[in-house]
Amino acid sequence: MPIERNFPSPAPEPLPVLGVLISGRGSNLRAIIAAIADGRLQARIGVVIANRADAAGLAHAETAGVPALVVDHKAFATRADFEEALVARLVEARAEVVCLAGFMRILSPVFLERFGGPVLNVHPSLLPSFVGVDAQRQAWEHGVKVAGVTVHLVTPELDAGPIVAQATVPVLDDDTPDTLAARILVEEHRIYPEAVGLVAAGGWRIEGRRFVRGR
């Protein structure tokens, strides 16, 4: 007679798990934490990783009781070694979606291939305009009348992956790069958690360069 044994099955992960990478202030991390706390974003942050020990955003993780750690890029001989270490920490935390939130290191194909899941970035311009650093100042100096924010999937090419969400803001005559950046940041905090939720929930596909909802 067969022996019946009941093994407790591993608890299913009820919510998609996020890994959030930061380098500095962490206001987008704080917006994600707030959206989760008030039920707008159905996800859980498995780990926050900063590449600098002095990243002020680490305090937001601590306040929220979210696991946080530092993986200092300067401690690694090569970019690939640094990225392998990042992926190892993300896998340990069971992260399924990575959110770059002011993470100021370029990620190479090593990271994207090893991690394998979707990696999102929030960029403070209406891509494809004004890639790279200081995008708000670039837009201000160019004299555009409409600026904004883009959330996109990360691909090996800088700031060039499929666009998940965008929002616009006006550029006013008396703006400075700082006042424009502040207006854009309000929209970052609004659309980034929304876009993270959309991607984490699944049910989307990429057609050519286009992010399309529906299977």
- Residues at the site binding ligand GAR, with contacts judged by CB under 6 A: 22, 24-28, 57, 101-102, 122-124, 135, 185, 188
Any idea which residue has 């100096």 for tokens?
A: 141
Identify the active-site residue in 123, 142, 152, 189.
123
State the DSSP code for 8.
Answer: P
Least Å distance, CB 98 to ligand GAR, is: 14
Least Å distance, CB 61 to ligand GAR, is: 12
* C-beta closer to ligand GAR: residue 91 or 124: 124
Decide if 189 is catalytic.
no
| CA separation for the pair 16, 117 (Å, rounded) | 12
Closest residue to ligand GAR, based on beta-carbon distance = 102
* C-beta closer to ligand GAR: residue 17 or 184: 184
Least Å distance, CB 103 to ligand GAR, is: 7
What would the two tokens of residue 74 be? Answer: 């300067």
* C-beta closer to ligand GAR: residue 91 or 155: 155
On the 0-12 / 13-18 / 19+ scale of CB atoms within 10 A, 213 is exposed
* C-beta closer to ligand GAR: residue 91 or 177: 177
Where do the DSSP E strands lie in the chain? Answer: 17-22, 44-50, 68-70, 97-100, 119-123, 146-153, 163-170, 204-207, 210-213
- Going from the C-alpha of 23 to that of each of 37, 106, 118, 164, 176, the distances in angstroms are 23, 12, 20, 22, 24
Least Å distance, CB 146 to ligand GAR, is: 17
Catalytic residues: 123
